[in-house]
Amino acid sequence: MSSPYRPIVGLTMGDPAGIGPEVVVKAMNEEALYDRCRPLAIGDAAVFRRTTAALGIDARVSVTSEPANGTYSHGTLDVFQATSENLESIVPGEVQPAAGKAAAECVIKATELALAGKIDAIATAPLNKDALNQAGYHYPGHTEMLADLTGTTDFSLTLIADQLRVIHVTTHVSMRKALDLIDRGRVLRIVRLADRFCRYLGIAAPRVAVAGFNCHAGENGLFGSEEIDHIRPAVEEARAEGIDATGPWPGDTIFYRASKGEFDIVVAMYHDQGHIPVKMLGFEAGVNTTAGLPIIRTSVDHGTAFDIAGTGKASHGSMVEAVRLAAKLTLEKRPVGV
């Protein structure tokens, strides 16, 4: 009997001025991770060498030009060199265009490798949106960048923490803009995507809960009409298509109910509505993924943490969970015996 397939998961470096290199190195130093997958750091070998030394981790940094040829054993940090930037002078905790460029190049290379089938999935460390834009990459974040790189138009930021799964109708926009973006068609598109994403995860009959935008889900128009004009009609249309969607539900209770198993996924109307409950439930274990992409991508559910960059204090729990989920999704989609 052949041994179980171990997916190659590419861990992007993230912004080298943040905690990205640290959480990647710490995650790849977890021996148990190698039972699940073949972790490959995608970034700058020199940065990973400095990070490994600073953390006092006894691991050899090995550069490979072909992901399939990596060592993939505990004690060796396999690295794919993805940036040509000289990062020797990068200052921890500061926004720097060179760091933003290097982070972007890592995401671009990881995407190319995934699309070519050379790696099975991507787990991204955090990048800094300001540094990214200063480097000339004008994206609000990973989600939009990956969608552009893969030619994807139907996608959404999705968070997972334990039993709670949250997909977003709007993300990196102001609250005023988010309100303008709430319409029946957009909500319906995300409800459909939520249903498909849950099926992708192996949930045969997804229960999709849709949150309202206003307090108390508008209280029948007393606190706003978005629920009446757009959200409820979208839910009704989704139900007519055979999707088990319900709502709009008040945002202050729906996430609790979902976390207890009443629903399989919650459709949040805006960024903080979805992010706050997930991060309260599992800040260090939450995972960010992107529903709708043609490749498997997961991510840590935290930022670059410039305030502790270079101190060795960063927790790598979310990165470990991101890699585990990436490996799990790969195996669920891979034909048996391959």
Do 235 and 248 form a contact (C-beta atoms < 8 A)?
Answer: yes
> Is residue 7 domain-shared with residue 116, that is, in the same domain?
yes
Most confident region among 2-11, 63-72, 195-204, 298-307 by mean pLDDT: 63-72
Instruction: Note whether residue 287 is domain-resident.
Output: no
Q: Which of 140-149, 154-163, 178-187, 231-240 has the lowest mean pLDDT?
A: 154-163
> Is residue 129 domain-shared with residue 268, that is, in the same domain?
no
> Is residue 268 domain-shared with residue 330, that is, in the same domain?
no
Strand partners, 211: 249
> Is residue 139 domain-shared with residue 6, that is, in the same domain?
yes
Give the domain CATH number at 137. Answer: 3.40.718.10
On average, the pLDDT of the chain sits at 93
> Is residue 224 domain-shared with residue 181, that is, in the same domain?
yes
Instruction: Note whether residue 38 is domain-resident.
Output: yes
User: Residue 337 above 80 pLDDT?
Assistant: no
> Is residue 261 domain-shared with residue 171, that is, in the same domain?
yes
Q: Which of 237, 263, 282 is the last residue in one of the domains?
A: 282
> Is residue 178 domain-shared with residue 141, that is, in the same domain?
no
CA distance 120 to 75: 22
CA distance 83 to 311: 24
As for how many domains the chain has, the answer is 2
> Is residue 133 domain-shared with residue 173, that is, in the same domain?
no
> What is the reported pTM?
0.84
> Is residue 133 domain-shared with residue 227, that is, in the same domain?
no
> Is residue 148 domain-shared with residue 5, that is, in the same domain?
yes
Do 102 and 44 form a contact (C-beta atoms < 8 A)?
Answer: yes
User: Residue 6 above 80 pLDDT?
Assistant: yes
Instruction: Note whether residue 175 is domain-resident.
Output: yes
Instruction: Note whether residue 13 is domain-resident.
Output: yes
Domain that holds residue 205: 156-282
Contacts of residue 57, defined as CB under 8 A and 6 or more positions apart, other chains included, come to: 25, 26, 29
**Token couple for 35:** 């039972």
Q: What is the mean pLDDT of residues 261-265?
A: 97
Instruction: Note whether residue 247 is domain-resident.
Output: yes
**Token couple for 106:** 């890592």
> Is residue 21 domain-shared with residue 114, that is, in the same domain?
yes
Do 164 and 127 form a contact (C-beta atoms < 8 A)?
Answer: no
> Is residue 105 domain-shared with residue 198, that is, in the same domain?
no
Instruction: Note whether residue 118 is domain-resident.
Output: yes
